[in-house]
A and B are shown apart, each in its own frame.
Chain A
Amino acid sequence: MHTFSRSALAAAAIALATGPFAVAGAQSIKIGFNVPLTGFAAADGNSALKGAELAVDQVNAAGGVNGRPLELVVYDDQASPKEAAPLAVKMITQDGIVAGISGSYSGSTRAASTIFQENATPYISAYAVHPDITRSGDYVFRTSFMGEVQGRAGAKLIGEMMGKRRVAMITLNNDFGKSLAAGFREAAPRFGIEIVSEYDYGIRDREFGPIVSKVKADAPQAIYASGYFFTAGPLVSQLRAAGVDVPVIGQEGYDGQKFIEIAGPAAEGVVITTSLDRDSSDPQARAFIDGFQKKAGYPADMVGASTHTAVLVMAQALKQAGPADKAKLRDAIAATTVDAATGRISFNALGEVKKDVEVQVVRDGNWHHYARISDPLLLAPPEK
């Protein structure tokens, strides 16, 4: 190897650096991307980045946006509003981005969304759920379900599709869990569900002994528990360990292989509402699922699918409107319909996504298809 000259190495390095861009040469179109790469949300952040990068690779391999390659301008926001706000300013005023995408949680996405709106720059929230994000204004969109919408889907799933009546709720006390719980509570009576008890827990809790004991005493027919894989994994395994064997219904926060790894055999039979169908035969979804596994080295998850979708939506709108005029780009996003790994995406007047809810179940240590909820009336996000 030592026979390589310095210039040959440099050439190789340049080739490597520009390799993924099939359309290298033309000036790139920059999209800002804030994502938590360090801190407590780093696991989701890293998957989110992989998903977005995969979408950029795929778009560029297919000729880019009208001959120009996409480029992500990535910043670590630590899922913190105080980091995200100055980063948004920097992306817009100094980095020359045409639009932004959030691969982050609600707090930071909310902070950034107001700055994008003030600067009339389109911004898509990939998986942050807080209702106020799209209310920042008409430049802000969301490609994932609001918590309330997914909560309603959970009620239909438990009450109508699984036929369970007495439900205990275990709610994560942040915006994600609270908005899910609100949607679930609102829709529960429509599906004959009686909520027998509700317990709150904090995002740092991993030890659920007392709640598990109480839920066991409540003897519900099903448990609607909100959380992320790192809280839901310990929760489900502790529920099962205490002999609570009724169905546990979760949401997209569970969605990933790590949940199954943590909960182990206890994960079997857990059902969630989410936006990615692992057994899908749709070519878009397959290309994402296979591509993600190859790129990341672990199976696809919800956050990766969500940022992947957000980048595709942005690319589609850029193809139609071009990068020069941000108002035109915003209108193009609002009017677009894109077939992505997470389904057919279009937006309502508020910039909220309209799509079906996928229901997945853990079987033999993997996520699999359980059902699909296609109910535009129930799943209608707010219009303002």
Chain B
Amino acid sequence: MLFAELVVQGVVQGAIYALIALGLTLVYGLLRILHVAHAALFTLGGYVGVLVTNHTGSLTLALGAAMLGVGVLGMVVYRLAYRPLLERPPFVALIASIGLFIAAEEVYRIVFGSFGLSFVSPPLQQQVDIGGGILLSQARIAVVAMAVGFLALLAWLSGHTRTGVAWRATVTDPKMAESCGIDIEKVRYLNFFIGSALAAAAGVMVALLNNLVEPTMGAVPSYKALAIIVLGGLGSVRGTLLAALALGVIESFGTVYAGHLLDRDALAFAFLIAVLMLRPQGLLRGA
């Protein structure tokens, strides 16, 4: 009983990780950039979600605004921060990304205040019995549903549309894709839009679960999402999904049964190290 409940809690956490890490793995797959500032976009999603919900009373509207706004901002980040650095070694872009992330945290603090924001009346807090006496709030169920929905949509898009084919071709061999007439710049912008929009969705959902958005909300995702994409096999979407869920479940049991030895973050990295020793290429090989 408790076992099932802990698995469910782990899956909820894993779904959040998956939404965040997916954008990161998309960017890495395409540009070989470790996009640390992705976590800042996740935080911004949370802020937009809380502010729009508090003003309009509509969570759907807030989610849409967060995904659209932050998605566009993701494209701006690519245009202003990464594109000028594409010819440089990858660590240059990484440093720019870290700088951007730290700056964003302080900008949020100045603009939105240091105490963080909360929903005036948090939506989706109703308890639902999902069977076996396990109570979950609607928000938790929505997180999982959203992760499954978005990822299924993404999988379908990449497999069944011309844009998806162009995207996969660009990931596999950018030069060849370009010479076949694919506008790889367009693919890159789209990539940043989708990844950032997913991170924003995760930000809104985390805000809902905790009823708190803080300037430093992205601190943990900033490095844990990196661990997840390495774990999943850099650049692999399916691997990322698998790694996110596995990590969520391992943390769930770990915090309860080994929390006095290792905290949640340490557990995540111990798992990462263990996997990399056995499978240096990650759980699934990169796309």
- Chain A positions near chain B (C-beta within 8 angstroms): 38-40, 42-43, 45-46, 173, 198-202, 204-207, 209-211, 213-214, 217, 230, 233-234, 237-238, 241-243, 258, 261-264
Contacts and interface: CB of A to CB of B under 8 A. Distances in A.
Nearest to B106: A38
B178 interface: no
Interface string B186-212: 000000000000000000001001111
B212 A241 contact: no
Contact of A209 (B1, B13, B125, B260): B13
B224 to A, nearest CB: 10
B256 A199 contact: yes
Given A237-B211, A258-B115, A199 B127 contact: no
A309 B7 CA distance: 48
Contact of B209 (A38, A201, A205, A207): A207
B219 A204 contact: yes
A79 to B, nearest CB: 11
Given A242-B135, A262-B212, A46 B114 contact: yes
A223 to B, nearest CB: 15
Contacts of B121: 264
Interface of B: 1-2, 5-6, 9-10, 12-13, 16, 106, 109, 114-116, 118, 121-122, 125, 127, 135, 137, 140, 206, 209-212, 214-217, 219-220, 251-253, 255-256, 259-260, 263-265
B114 A241 contact: no
Given A209-B13, A234-B211, 18 more contacts: A39-B216, A42-B215, A173-B263, A199-B260, A200-B259, A201-B255, A202-B264, A204-B219, A206-B212, A210-B10, A210-B251, A213-B2, A213-B9, A214-B256, A217-B1, A261-B118, A264-B121, A264-B122
17 contacts: A38-B106, A40-B216, A42-B215, A43-B115, A45-B114, A199-B255, A199-B260, A207-B210, A210-B251, A213-B6, A217-B5, A233-B211, A238-B209, A241-B135, A243-B127, A243-B135, A263-B211
Contact of B12 (A201, A204, A209, A261): A209
Nearest to B214: A230
Looking at chain A's contact residues, the main secondary structure is helix
Contact of B125 (A200, A230, A241): A241
Contacts of A263: 211
B116 A258 contact: yes
A85 B127 CA distance: 49
Given A43-B114, A210-B253, A214-B6, A204 B265 contact: yes
B108 to A, nearest CB: 11
B247 to A, nearest CB: 13
Given A198-B260, A210-B256, A241-B137, A262 B220 contact: no
Nearest to A38: B106
- Among A173, A207, A258, chain B packs the most CB atoms within 10 A around the CB of A207
Nearest to B1: A217
A158 to B, nearest CB: 21
Contacts of A205: 255, 263-264
B116 A204 contact: no
A125 to B, nearest CB: 21
Nearest to B16: A207
- Count chain A CB atoms within 10 A of each CB in B12, B16, B263 and give the residue with the most: B263
B127 A241 contact: yes
Contacts of A238: 209
B263 A200 contact: yes
Contacts of A234: 209-212
Contacts of B12: 209
Given A43-B114, A209-B252, A204 B220 contact: yes
A243 B252 CA distance: 19
A52 to B, nearest CB: 16
Contact of A201 (B16, B212, B219, B264): B264
Nearest to A205: B264
A329 B61 CA distance: 60
Nearest to B216: A40
A262 B118 contact: yes
Contacts of A43: 114-116
Nearest to A45: B114
A262 to B, nearest CB: 5
Nearest to A258: B115
A201 B266 CA distance: 11
Given A201-B264, A205-B264, A242-B135, A214 B2 contact: yes
Given A233-B212, A243-B127, A264-B211, A210 B114 contact: no
A211 to B, nearest CB: 6
Contacts of B122: 264
A210 B255 contact: yes
A202 B265 contact: yes
Given A43-B115, A207-B13, A213-B6, A230 B212 contact: yes
Contacts of B265: 202, 204
B26 to A, nearest CB: 24
Given A40-B219, A211-B255, A241-B127, A201 B263 contact: yes
Contacts of B116: 43, 230, 258, 262
A302 to B, nearest CB: 14
